[in-house]
Structures are given as C-alpha cells and as structure tokens.
C-alpha cells in the first residue's frame, strides 16, 4: 500500500466501499462453510474444522 500511495499521492481509501466489500466477503465465506456442511461428505475432523471456521466468521459479524 505504501508503494501505491507513493505513486498515487491523491489516493484515499473509501471506507464505505471497503466496509461493504469486507461484509460481502464475510457473508460469502459463511455461505461456503454452510454449503460444505449441508452438501459435502466430510470426515469428522474436517466437519469439526468447518464448524470452527463458520463459528469464527459468524462471531465476527456485528449488527
């Protein structure tokens, strides 16, 4: 980012856009984990890992 800022001195982060895309990515990740749990055949260890990742993503969502 520092190199980019040196080249584009007028650049400013659009906080609204960044927040939107971070939230969108989090929802996409939640869906992917849910999809794995619903449709994939997973070994117990893999299922446990998927549940752990899903829980972490859900805990990171703020109202």
Q: Is pLDDT of 62 > 90?
A: no
CA-CA distance, 37 to 51, in Å (whole number)?
Answer: 8
> Which pLDDT score, from 0 to 100, does residue 50 have?
97
Q: Identify the pLDDT of residue 44.
A: 97
What count of other Cβ atoms lies within 10 Å of the Cβ of residue 57? 19
In Å, what is the CA distance from 14 to each residue of 11, 18, 27, 47, 56? Answer: 9, 6, 20, 37, 26
Cβ contact 33:50 at 8 Å: yes
For the chain, domain boundaries: 21-63
Whole-model pTM: value is 0.77
pLDDT (tens digit per residue) in 7-54? 888 888 899 999 999 999 999 999 999 999 999 999 999 999 999 999
- Amino acid 11: pLDDT: 86
């Amino acid at each position: 980012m520092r190199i980019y800022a040196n080249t584009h001195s007028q650049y400013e982060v659009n906080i609204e856009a960044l927040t939107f895309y971070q939230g969108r990515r989090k929802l996409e990740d939640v869906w992917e984990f849910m999809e794995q749990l619903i449709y994939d055949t997973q070994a117990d260890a893999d299922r446990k890992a998927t549940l752990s990742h899903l829980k972490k993503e859900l805990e990171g969502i703020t109202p």
